[in-house]
Amino acid sequence: MSQALAHIVDDDEAIRDALTWLLRTRNVAARTWASAEEFLAGWQPDFHGCIVLDIRMKEMSGLECFDVLLERNNSMPVIFLTGHGDVPMAVSTLKKGAFDFLEKPFDDNALVDVVIRAMETDARKQASQETQATVAGRLAQLTPREQEVMQLVLAGKFNKVIADELNISMRTVEVHRSRVFEKMGVRSAVELAQLLAPGRD
Amino acid sequence: MSQALAHIVDDDEAIRDALTWLLRTRNVAARTWASAEEFLAGWQPDFHGCIVLDIRMKEMSGLECFDVLLERNNSMPVIFLTGHGDVPMAVSTLKKGAFDFLEKPFDDNALVDVVIRAMETDARKQASQETQATVAGRLAQLTPREQEVMQLVLAGKFNKVIADELNISMRTVEVHRSRVFEKMGVRSAVELAQLLAPGRD
DNA sequence: CCCGATATTGTGGTCATCCGCAGTGTGGAA
DNA sequence: TTCCACACTGCGGATGACCACAATATCGGG
């Protein structure tokens, strides 16, 4: 897993350097990309941290880049930078899930704070997505029959009822049930229910 | 419970009338308020629907009104209208949870669509909050001891283990456990776990 | 002082769960 | 064809969950 980085995407080298310097003096690791195309080409699903994205760039704009990232289910927070933004643009990007939208010239401290908060947000999301992925992986290991049985178990039904509904014997249900617990890494139906319905907040 | 309404808050009577007419021709019930103060004074926690809030008003501005609503844990979506907004203002309000931020002059169809989506959003949130409140109410009916036992049951522990940890007999645990199920309106630990850890999404 | 809410415990029994042991049958991959 | 994953089943026993019946004990009000 690659380290958390602030990915700076801007076609102006002076800005890239300035941002990199600014972030590094605050102990935030950064990596730069000279264009949206370059970033999208080098983008890996295991990237994490955040993205600082200039809107006005030659060729592909930051807005278009953002749309591509959305299609790719990018989960990193995106912070837009722009010198010529307008209200509808800001509203639209934020409603699409952008983390923030800053106008140039921006305050150095404000930017660093936003970047740090974005990276913290990503770290939290990352952690929760990993446990989600683990659960999904375990679910995938269940055979179709085991998944059926699991659903009925989660519905709170007795083994006897499950056996009737599936037209199999109770003993078979017990075997499936046991395998489900084993493969899902739990030791009771209660733990299973909690694993598949994690807390809100 | 009062009906879902679009609450229009604007100190310009012409705009209030126009918006009311616009929404009513699309079968959206609306109610108007001539100032932020008037709205805040008349606001009831059981209001639902959405709020269409003008930013520039005499006395209290829409932004200040929004802040008050946030403190009051208002759950209705807020749609800002403004003729003189800027990007930082839009970004700030959206990050604080505003539903949308529209600049005048706005497109009638666009506004109606936003209002309708906001009201749908609120209806969903309302429903989920009601079930949450029901659960909270039932939890409050549990005696302290019952809550303790419930926690341990949710931890997947056997009655025997719970009895040891609380230094009481198994029989007592059974009684508490039974009362918990009864008061919470469930018939198994699995249902209880699902009730207290409702799905995400 | 009596009552209701809360917490506690025991007995004995029924039903559900879990498990080891032992085995059958099927369909696909090597 | 042989091997393996998957589904299926029976038996019997150990353990846990649940419940009706029956009590004791504390505490705060009325």
Residue A94 has pLDDT above 70, yes or no: yes
Query: Average pLDDT in the B141-146 region?
Result: 96
DSSP annotation of A57 reads -
The number of C-beta contacts closer than 8 angstroms across A and B is 71
pLDDT tens digits for range A9-18: 999 999 999 9
Output the average pLDDT for chain B: 95
Query: Are A101 and A174 members of one domain?
Result: no
B149-196 pLDDT, tens digit each: 999 999 999 999 999 999 999 999 999 999 999 999 999 999 999 999
Domain CATH for B75: 3.40.50.2300
Q: Among A85, A95, A193, whose Cβ lies nearest the Cβ of B87?
A: A85
A99 and A168 housed in the same domain: no
Q: Is the pLDDT score of B199 beyond 60?
A: no
Whether B69 and B45 share a structural domain: yes
Residue B59: is its pLDDT beyond 70?
A: yes
Given this model, what pLDDT does residue A3 score? 87
B85 occurs within a structural domain: yes
Packing angle, helices A13-25 and A108-141, rounded to 10: 80
Residue A78 falls inside a structural domain: yes
ipTM computed for the complex: 0.84
Shortest CB distance from B90 goes to which of A91, A153, A194?
Answer: A91
Q: Are residues A24 and A112 in the same domain?
A: yes
- CA atoms in the 13 A half-sphere facing the CB of B74: 24
Disruptive mutation site among A114, A190, A201 for chain B (greatest number of B CBs within 10 Å): A190
> Alpha-carbon distance A53 to A66, whole Å?
8
How far in angstroms lies nucleotide C7's C1' from the CA of residue B153? Answer: 18
Give the residue numbers spanning the domain of A37. 4-130
The 10s digit of each residue's pLDDT in A134-187 is 999 999 999 999 999 999 999 999 999 999 999 999 999 999 999 999 999 999
pLDDT of residue A200: 43
Confidence of residue B197 (pLDDT cuts 50, 70, 90): confident
Same domain, B84 and B169: no
B110 in contact with A, Cβ within 8 Å: no
Number of domains chain A contains: 2
Residues A155 and A60 in one domain: no
Looking at the structure, do residues B125 and B181 belong to the same domain, yes or no?
no
Binning pLDDT at 50, 70 and 90, where does residue B201 land?
very low
Residues of A in contact with B117 (CB under 8 A): none
Partner A contacted by B84 (CB < 8 A) = no
pLDDT of residue B200: 44
Show the tokens assigned to B25: 């021709």
pLDDT (average), residues A59-79:
96
| Cβ of A147 less than 7 A from strand D | no
Q: What average pLDDT does the segment B60-75 reach? A: 96
Question: Is residue B103 located within the same domain as residue B147?
Answer: no
Give the pLDDT confidence score for residue A83 in this predicted structure. 92
Long-range contacts of B83-87 (CB under 8 A, 24+ apart): B83/B56, B84/B55, B84/B56, B85/A87, B85/B55, B86/A87, B87/A85, B87/A86, B87/A87, B87/A90, B87/A101, B87/A103
Amino acid at B69: L
**Which of A80, A110, A130 is the last residue before a domain boundary?**
A130
Clarify whether residues A88 and A147 are in a common domain: no
Q: Is residue A146 part of a domain?
A: yes
Are residues A20 and A89 located together in one domain of the fold? yes
In a domain, A135, yes or no: no
Residues A102 and A162 in one domain: no
Cis ω for the linkage preceding A105 (within 30 of 0): yes
User: Is pLDDT of A201 > 60?
Assistant: no
Question: Would residue B137 count as lying in a domain?
Answer: no
Question: Which residues of chain A lie closer than 8 angstroms to B189, CB-CB?
Answer: 188-190
Last residue of one domain, picked from the residues B97, B131, B165: B131
Q: Are residues B78 and B98 in the same domain?
A: yes
- For residues B18, B21, B22, B23, the Cα torsion angle rounded to the nearest 10 degrees is 120
- Which of B91, B103, B135 to mutate to test binding with chain A, by most A CBs within 10 Å of its CB? B91
User: Is B114 within the bounds of a domain?
Assistant: yes
B16-48 pLDDT, tens digit per residue, is 999 999 999 999 999 999 999 999 999 999 999
Among candidate residues B75, B103, B131, the one where a domain is terminated: B131
Give the closest nucleotide to B160 (alpha carbon vs C1'). D16
Q: What are phi and psi of A197, to 5 degrees?
A: -140, 65
pLDDT tens by residue, A2-57: 789 999 999 999 999 999 999 999 999 999 999 999 999 999 999 999 999 999 99
| Percent of chain B topping pLDDT 70 | 98
| Six-digit token string for B128 | 């989920």
**Residue B32 maps to a domain:** yes
CA torsion through residues A60, A12, B88, B104, sign? negative
Provide φ and ψ at B73, rounded to 5°.
60, 35
| Contact with chain B for residue A133, Cβ under 8 A | no
Helix axes B170-184, B108-141, angle to 10 degrees: 150
Answer whether B95 sits within 8 Å of A100, measured CB to CB: yes
Name which of B94, B187, B193 is nearest A194 (Cβ-Cβ).
Answer: B193
